[in-house]
Amino acid sequence: MGELTIFLPLLIIMGAFMFFASRRQKKAMQATIDLQNSLTVGDRVMTTSGQYGTIAAVENDTIDIEIAPGIVTTWTKLAVRDVVKDEDGLDDDRDDDDFDDDDYETDTTENSGAVELNKPGTASEANSDPGRLTKD
């Protein structure tokens, strides 16, 4: 009888841990099922692989996601990780002026044939000596 009382608290702790872990897993599974059932055309989503797109069509187990204008791919509903809101940092109306090609110049070396982008005003000492591995 004494040996049973030693293991009883351990068994109770393990049982409680398993109970709460299974509860958390059931809640997460239900949230995923609710998300998949709530998908509608026009929702902006992110897949489990990190691909963003807009839902173009919803079928029983699959959805068509438009990832670029005119490019539609078919995914299983299970691949949708989250419905993305506009305030999550995605800016569809971003200006192309944010990246100005004139700020960068291409510089090729004779020996390597590689192209390196250099910001104006920065020294590219590595290109002046092809055998040199580091900058000072």
Residue 129's alpha-carbon distances to 29, 52, 53, 120, 132, in angstroms, are: 59, 43, 46, 19, 5
| 115-131 pLDDT tens trace | 555 555 555 444 555 55
pLDDT tens across 42-61, in order?
Answer: 999 999 999 999 999 999 88
Nearest to 78 by CA among 101, 108, 47: 47
Which amino acid, residue 43? Answer: D
pLDDT at 5 over 50: yes
Residue 99 confidence (pLDDT) above 80: no
Do 123 and 85 meet the contact criterion of CB atoms below 8 Å apart?
no
DSSP string, the chain: -HHHHHHHHHHHHHHHHHHHHHHHHHHHHHHHHHHHHT--TT-EEEETTS-EEEEEEE-SSEEEEEEETTEEEEEEGGGEEEEPPGGGS--TT--GGGS-GGG-EEEE-TTT--EEEE-TT---HHHH-TT--S--
The pLDDT value given to residue 129: 53
* Residue 7 confidence (pLDDT): 85
Find, among 30, 55, 35, 36, the residue nearest to 44 by Cα.
Answer: 55
Whether the per-residue pLDDT at 12 is higher than 80: the answer is yes
Note the pLDDT tens digit of each residue in 16-39.
999 998 999 999 999 988 988 889
How far, rounded to the nearest angstrom, does the alpha carbon of residue 61 sit from its chain's CA centroid? 22
- Counting residues of the chain whose pLDDT is more than 70, the rounded percentage is 62
Question: Mean pLDDT, the chain, as a whole number?
Answer: 75
The domains of the chain are located at 1-38, 96-121
Looking up tokens 């009382």 gives 5
pLDDT at position 27:
92
Instruction: Give 49 or 112, the one with higher predicted confidence.
Output: 49
